[in-house]
Amino acid sequence: MGKRRRRRRRARGDDPRGVLLRAGLVVLGALAALNLAVAEVGESHTFLLSPRFVAEKAQALQRFAAHRARHPEACGGHKVSAAQVRQVARRHGLPPEFLLKLARTESALKPHRISPAGAMGVMQLMPGTARELEVVDPFHPGQSLDGGARYLKRLWRRYGGNRCRVAAAYNAGPGRVPKRGALRLPAETRGYVRKILGAKALERC
């Protein structure tokens, strides 16, 4: 009797295992589509079935779609100029070469970059950070640079101008970088600091 019931359920398409399987395939398909869009639109290397930062990546794609609707002519492969980055740095009282190296490390100066974590634009602002800084369009080069510079200035004050800790906090977040004392940074952040400040930068932290 049990086998007959299961066969009838499968025939009607309401077998619980079949329903779960189809639902799982739908979720995997949506996840793959999201990550593929981030990889193609944002020019980043994203694992196709990565379940991390789903909300942030979805928000980044929504922001990019809004940007493209407003500026369809500006969605090519152009880069921000070094002169523009230096100008923003001087306006905010930051060392121009420091901001330039950070921007190059973050996005290679590409204004439409989206990271595997959903960070956006030249300065790779996370959706929450962009909202906090009131950056309306994080894919607009001027807005992204201005917002990133303001955030960097905040970190500059917090760490007393210690470039190593400022760079580390920009990458890992200030919650993971103490103002003083020993640093226990993830390998990714250690490599990030070295890219910006040189091989021996961490020794001077």
Q: How confident is the model at residue 198 (pLDDT cuts 50, 70, 90)?
A: very high
What is the second-level CATH architecture of the domain 82-204? Answer: Orthogonal Bundle (1.10)
Tell me the one-letter amino acid at 182: A
pLDDT tens per residue, range 14-27: 666 766 777 777 77
pLDDT of 143: 97
Hey, which residues are catalytic here? 106
The arithmetic mean of pLDDT across residues 92-112, rounded, is 97
* Prediction pTM value: 0.85
H or E element in which residue 168 lies: helix 163-172
Q: Contact, 101 vs 109, CB < 8 A?
A: no
In the chain, what are the domain boundaries? 2-74, 82-204
Maximal CA-CA distance, the chain: 80
Average per-residue pLDDT for the chain: 89
- Both tokens of 51, joined, read 């379940």
Nearest to 145 by CA among 116, 192, 137, 14: 137
